[in-house]
Structures are given as structure tokens and as C-alpha cells.
Amino acid sequence: MKNTTTKQRWIYTAGFLMLFILASCNSGNPEIRISEQPFSFGKVVNGQVLIKDLVVSNQGTGDLIIESVSTSCGCTTASLDSMIISPGKNANLHIEFDSGAHGPEANGEVFRQIFIASNDPQQEETVIEFKAVVLPPKSSGD
């Protein structure tokens, strides 16, 4: 009788392992997509704060888990309204660029990046790039 109990335990254990493996295989992979990139803010007067919202979507079959959102410079902030995006769903990426963050003398063409780290196995880090042409601030006599 002792052998039967041990044999049953092995059968149950093997069955649970098979179910676990099958469930893991069917979970699918996420696939991140970003709307409109790269983009340009165009010409802006130094000191303006510009805002842009982009759509981050999951075109895969598993949950897209956003691990972090960061930027290349302190003049740019970015935040995502959801850090877990289900398959076929979207989240909003809110971007703010402060063209005057580096002072009134910092003018000309600038390039910045937003970095999104995720569990997408094909693209663990997504880079979104934008540019702007920062014009000198208007003086009070203009």
C-alpha cells in the first residue's frame, strides 16, 4: 500500500508540472508599439513648456509590463498612466519638454530621448526621440 501512495504522488506531481509548463507556454509574449515616433516640436521660444501625448500599445499576446520610464535630460519628463498593458490595450505616455530649462542662452536645435524598459522580449528598451528648435526669448522691448 505504501508503494501505491508514492506512485500516486509521482503521478500528481508530474500532472501538475505538465499543467504548469503548458500554462507557461500559452501565456504569449508582449509586443510594444509607440504611436508617432520620432516627432518634432518644431520652432519654440525659449521658456515655453511643450506637451505631447503618445499612445503606447501592446500588440502581443501576453501582458506588457513597463519596468521604467526615463529621459535623457532633466528638461524632459515622461510618465505612463498604466505600467501593465494587457494584449490589445493602450496606455497614454505624457511628455513635457521645458525649452527654457537650460537658461535663456541655450538656443538652437536640441534632440532628446525617452526610454521605456519593458518585458517585450524583442525590444527590452524602446527609445522615443524628438527634436525642437529653441529660439531666443523675446525681450520686453519687442
Domain definitions of the chain by residue range: 32-135
| Percent of the chain scoring above 70 in pLDDT | 85
Per-residue pLDDT reduced to its tens digit, 51-85: 999 999 999 999 999 999 999 999 999 999 999 99
Mean pLDDT, residues 34-47 = 95
Q: What is the pLDDT of residue 141?
A: 54
Q: What is the reported pLDDT for 26?
A: 46
Taking CA atoms, 68 is separated from 24, 105, 132, in Å, by 24, 32, 24
- The answer to whether residue 106 scores a pLDDT higher than 80 is yes
- The chain-wide mean pLDDT, for the chain, equals 89
Residue 32 has pLDDT above 50, yes or no: yes
Q: Is the pLDDT of residue 135 over 80?
A: yes
Q: Exposure of 6 by Cβ count < 10 A (0-12 exposed, 13-18 middle, 19+ buried)? A: exposed
Closest CA to 66 of 112, 130, 114: 114
Domain 32-135 belongs to what topology?
Immunoglobulin-like (2.60.40)
* pLDDT computed for residue 66 by the predictor: 98
Q: What is the pLDDT of residue 18?
A: 59
Q: Is-contact 35 55, C-beta < 8 A?
A: yes
In a 10 Å sphere around its CB, with 0-12 CB exposed, 13-18 middle and 19+ buried, how is residue 14 labelled? exposed
pLDDT tier at 11, thresholds 50, 70, 90: confident
